[in-house]
Amino acid sequence: MGRGIKPDFQFRAVTDFDSVWLRNNGFKGVLLDMDNTLTPWKTPAPSAAVLAWRKELRAGGVKACIVSNSRQPVKVARVAAELEMPYIHRAGKPRRRGFDAGQEALELPREEILVVGDQIFTDVAGGNLARMRTCLICPISRQEFLGTKFLRLLERLAGRAVRFQAD
Ligand SMILES: [Mg+2]
């Protein structure tokens, strides 16, 4: 299991892994960040590729739930409805509360859950704190809140040594 701000896995995007990879690694469920993980921040709608990816997970028997720090319940609920999965909003990541609520929604032991997100200090650090395995992906959009940009700066200062594959 990853520790601190170190993820167990890294991918370019959620669509770069599927239910087969998840099950081969012992995962039966995923807790998914929303902004810049499932949807671009500015246009909060999942792409056709992400919709297809979600369908593949379901066909492969992998459960999914959104765990978002967003304070816009309508926005989160709309994305969750499109992706046909439950959601936790105002999750308070990196604190454990939101991840524990997500685990309850998935009804799985934490060893069988992968936390997926684009931010080290909320998604990865929080998933590790919640004693789940973690996966860092590259953010969908560069159009982010100033606060997020500040976090990215901290990540670089923290010596983030992450190489993402180009398309
Ligand atoms: Mg995010």
Number of folded domains that form the chain: 1
DSSP H or E stretch at residue 31: strand 29-32
Q: Structural domain of residue 132, as residue ranges? A: 9-157
Distance 41 CA to ligand 1 centre (A): 8
Distance 34 CA to ligand 1 centre (A): 6
Tokens describing residue 102: 């997500």
Q: Is the pLDDT of residue 167 over 50?
A: no
Distance 141 CA to ligand 1 centre (A): 10
pLDDT, residue 165, reads 41
Distance 83 CA to ligand 1 centre (A): 17
Is there a domain that residue 165 lies in? no
Contact 77, 58 (CB under 8 A): no
Distance 36 CA to ligand 1 centre (A): 5
pTM of the model: 0.85
Tell me what the mean pLDDT of segment 46-62 comes to: 96
Distance 59 CA to ligand 1 centre (A): 25
Tell me what the mean pLDDT of segment 8-33 comes to: 95
Is there a domain that residue 86 lies in? yes
Is there a domain that residue 3 lies in? no
Q: Look up the CATH number of the domain holding residue 101.
A: 3.40.50.1000
129-162: pLDDT as tens digits: 999 999 999 888 754 455 566 666 766 766 655 5
